[in-house]
Chain A
């Protein structure tokens, strides 16, 4: 049961009437209170029953973080009475559903659509928490309320801010593929085509045998090998929960992973994706042609960092179990000396013997700022602590490189382009 401000106003008027009633106060009180209660009961009884309403939903099911999505509820009124009141479509607070409540008026037998706009501020799945219908009676002083369940989920995808780097990296990739400049033959490149010599081509790439058969001088062109396999592994363990700037490491890593996925897709490589801490959290296998980005984004959306120590041994095992064919394994994690020394380093030779490992770590610019602090003993203690963190990071990077892994260590702003550059360089060197 709900009452409106009118019911309170009515009771206030009754109070006023009793106050000036004088000697017959007792009788007036009885009548006034009785009347107010009676009106409230009658109005509740005459309100359309929210229980008998039929709700259904339509609308968007996914959006990128930073955007908005509209979700509608269709309120059908099969009762014989007019539904008058308000409807609230409840969503978790971070979805920022607007408006909070809609005033509705549905005649008997008709239906209305109420649309709520969601502007989520968090990545992941938001589930509808129920639709509350408040039905007010014809007198407008009281009514009935009920919360009905009509499940709907809106998935908020990672924002992919680093998309802006994609055109630049793609043009570098095209240069590499010989569309702009001819390439000499190297390791990891394959024969592409024969074409006429143009001044400026490397004379070493002239195919004399083909030239002999032709009227003009013919050169061979080479391009990097295609259809290489890349496995992106996202560490969702405790180190990923660390906030760098305003965003957790995990989200920076996702951004970098998405840029790499998009780039590798364009370059004709096959991208697998896996999220791992102590078990596989999400997995996307490469499937034929076409961009993987959409599927990877979908898989990333509900991922959150968990407060457990990652299990690199299990990760290495899972990677090796996915086939022995050589691939580039990109591990997005924190270059945390303790975690990597104990877990990854002992198993690195095993992994390196089959695959090429690229470890990408996200630096915290805060630590570098701390390392530069001077001026007081307090600042110096902080600087020393930061220096220690930096030097451990430095040491673990050097150790990884010494054992044959590639290391990309960049701040949150630069990790995505840096990872893309590392990939392009590997491709240029034919090491993929």
Chain B
């Protein structure tokens, strides 16, 4: 195989490739797959987001349709009462003041409220339902009561009290924190369990009723439908106006930027630090003289052309060439061993070889000098068999 001289290749190329074009094309080839993938991803994302409605998430969130949310209860309440959802204590106070007499304040997550906010809410003097309150809220709204225990996974509890809201609802999933009232406080304890009652109603100092529930689970979308949960929830919140206070997590305000906290010297040190980095770069980056280049000779593997031809045979499945080549090689080596020369007629070679090895001359003829349709070039297995048989024959002739 001869390598074509380089100038021939250039001349045969009809369109001399200009450097920028080929560079741009190369770039385009390199980026087109990632660009296509990214576009497809973007398209799928946009299609998926179309028509999707975003709901707020969170435990006992009135707009949250997930199992832990309380959207179902909020919707139920809205059928009979005017429900106002307040996100901070100020708006809750405002809503209660605007609503007037027949109002129930539902307080969730009161640990997010400051003590003074709790005081302000307590001073409203409205009926309040505290759901799993903090100790501070408990002390503010229902003085004389205390959290005294906790039950987990008890299933539904029975009311066993005289509070109409509870007895009417029957058993409910209120197992959670348990409360006990001091002896000098008039309290209505319902759903008793070991160590206290899961629901307790006391009269607040301002004259209103405060109901404390040890858990909000029975209000969640998942549990609202079971037992007397829904009934209990609605009974507790039975009023013309319901103010649902679920304070948002307080946001951080104020604070100073990080550089305001640094000593002034640090800021000034940026200058000398830059100089240090520059000197470091100069120190490490400066070479001792230029790089020395060396023109290396062209060296290729001598077997390259042979291997290239093998790949060519394989890519074209040139089994006939393979068979012919293997046979020629075999004959070249074996025929002189029989005392014949390479120009000897095939019939003589076959006859001599058959006489030497005792093989069937007919078979030898097919193996070494095939007819037009060579069964040994039919498929890869036949080709492999040819190789083996030739090797075997060569071994016996040795």
Contact = CB atoms under 8 A, between A and B. Distances in A.
A394 interface: yes
B300 interface: yes
Contacts of B263: 19, 22
Say what secondary structure dominates the interface of chain A. Answer: helix
B322 A384 contact: yes
Given A19-B265, A22-B265, A7 B310 contact: no
Contacts of A384: 310, 313, 321-323, 325-326
Nearest to A376: B384
B3 A377 contact: no
A348 to B, nearest CB: 20
Contacts, number: 201
A392 to B, nearest CB: 10
Nearest to B1: A338
Contacts of B306: 364, 367, 370, 385-386, 388-389
B351 interface: no
B314 A5 contact: no
A346 interface: no
Contact of B300 (A4, A23, A242, A388): A242
A338 B332 contact: no
Contacts of B1: 338
Contacts of B271: 18, 29, 33
Band of interface residues on A: 35 or more
A151 interface: no
Interface in A358-388: 364, 366-367, 370-371, 374-378, 380-388
Contacts of B388: 374
A267 to B, nearest CB: 32
B391 A374 contact: yes
A387 B280 CA distance: 63
A199 interface: no
Given A338-B1, A367-B303, A307 B268 contact: no
A377 B288 contact: no
The CB with the most chain B CB atoms within 10 A, among A23, A371, A380, A394, is that of A380
A118 interface: no
A339 B3 CA distance: 11
B363 interface: no
Nearest to A7: B279
B50 interface: no
A249 B302 contact: yes
Interface string B367-393: 000000000000010011001100100
Contacts of A345: none
B302 to A, nearest CB: 3
B289 A147 contact: yes
A2 B282 contact: yes
A391 B283 CA distance: 63
A11 B276 contact: yes
Interface residues of B, number: 59
Contacts of B332: 391, 394
Contacts of A3: 279, 282-283, 286
Contact of A33 (B275, B302, B307): B275
Given A22-B263, A381-B313, A242 B272 contact: no
Given A22-B265, A243-B299, A339-B2, A385 B313 contact: yes
A404 to B, nearest CB: 19
B395 to A, nearest CB: 13
A351 to B, nearest CB: 23
A241 B300 contact: yes
B301 interface: yes
A382 B301 contact: no
Contacts of A309: 2, 5
Contacts of A386: 306, 310
Interface string A12-32: 101110111111011011001
B290 interface: yes
A242 B275 contact: no
Say what secondary structure dominates the interface of chain B. Answer: helix
Contacts of A132: 288-289
A382 B329 contact: no
A129 B292 contact: yes
A94 interface: yes
A367 B264 CA distance: 77
B194 interface: no
B294 interface: yes
The CB with the most chain A CB atoms within 10 A, among B5, B280, B329, is that of B329
B297 interface: yes
A24 B249 CA distance: 44
A91 B313 contact: no
B48 interface: no
B313 A22 contact: no
The CB with the most chain A CB atoms within 10 A, among B3, B280, B300, B302, is that of B302
B322 A381 contact: yes
The CB with the most chain B CB atoms within 10 A, among A4, A376, A377, is that of A377
A169 B31 CA distance: 65
B273 interface: yes
B264 A25 contact: yes
A91 B283 CA distance: 23
B27 interface: no
A385 B307 contact: yes
Interface string A98-134: 0011000000000000000000000000000110101
Given A90-B289, A132-B288, A386-B306, A18 B265 contact: yes
Interface string A238-259: 1001111000110000000000
11 contacts: A14-B275, A19-B263, A22-B263, A88-B289, A100-B288, A132-B289, A241-B300, A304-B297, A381-B311, A382-B307, A391-B325
The 10 closest A-B pairs by CB, nearest first: A242-B302, A132-B289, A25-B268, A387-B329, A385-B310, A384-B322, A11-B276, A384-B325, A377-B380, A19-B269
